């Protein structure tokens, strides 16, 4: 068996900036370049969470919220969470980097049919390594998996309430309200 050579972050940055990749959303996960492909249902689910988090954070002057075009450097890799929050304490000025070098305080990953389970698990581990809280939203199963550094994972169903914890203190949203249907 021949081992595949892993792509370095420098090679990824060069490849992702090529003109033929201008319209592609690319991530570097586990040393592999992955094109991010979503669907309307997953996108609408992410937009619902983005809107709720954005309004909550803005009303309390807590921090910045990015959508699916907000890219981040995480543990030497490059990720594009569907929604991310970074506090003003950690990043008072907006980032103008292609991939923000400051990891977010919260990353929301909304699953779509093209997602690879193994790559998702790599992302979760790397987010946790840099201190990022992760919410994995499964629009098919109607579940939210919540991961926080040094805490046990929590799975929430339709009858539960998603809470912001120490990242977004006071934020609450019924899980059933996350999903468009």
Give the pLDDT of residue 3: 53
- All structural domains of the chain, each given as residue ranges with its CATH number in brackets, are 39-177 (3.90.1570.10)
pLDDT tens-digit profile of 25-71? 999 999 999 998 888 999 999 999 999 999 999 999 999 999 998 99
**CA nearest neighbour of 129 among 66, 50, 73, 63:** 73
Write down the pTM of the prediction: 0.93
What is the average pLDDT across 120-141? 97
Q: Is 53 within 8 Å of 85 (Cβ atoms)? A: yes
Give the pLDDT of residue 181: 83
Give the whole-angstrom CA distance, residue 167 versus residue 158. Answer: 22
User: Which positions ≥6 away from 174 have C-beta within 8 Å?
Assistant: 160, 161, 162
> 138 pLDDT exceeds 70?
yes
> 1 pLDDT exceeds 80?
no
Rg (CA), the chain: 16
Neighbours of 84 (CB within 10 A): 27
């Amino acid at each position: 068996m021949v081992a595949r050579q892993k792509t370095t972050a420098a090679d990824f940055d060069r490849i992702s900036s090529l003109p033929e990749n201008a319209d592609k959303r690319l991530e570097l996960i586990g040393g592999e370049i992955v094109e991010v492909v979503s669907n309307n249902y997953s996108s609408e689910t992410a937009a619902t969470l983005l809107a709720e988090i954005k309004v909550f954070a803005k009303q309390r002057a807590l921090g910045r919220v990015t959508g699916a075009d907000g890219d981040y450097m995480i543990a030497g890799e490059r990720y594009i969470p569907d929604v991310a929050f970074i506090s003003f304490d950690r990043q008072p000025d907006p980032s103008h980097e292609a991939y923000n070098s400051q990891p977010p305080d919260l990353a929301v990953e909304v699953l779509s049919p093209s997602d690879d389970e193994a790559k998702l698990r790599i992302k979760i581990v790397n987010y946790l390594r840099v201190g990022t809280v992760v919410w994995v939203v499964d629009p098919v199963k109607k579940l939210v998996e919540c991961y926080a550094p040094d805490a046990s994972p929590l799975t929430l169903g339709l009858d539960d309430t998603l809470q912001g914890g120490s990242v977004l203190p006071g934020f609450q949203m019924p899980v059933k309200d996350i999903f468009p249907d």
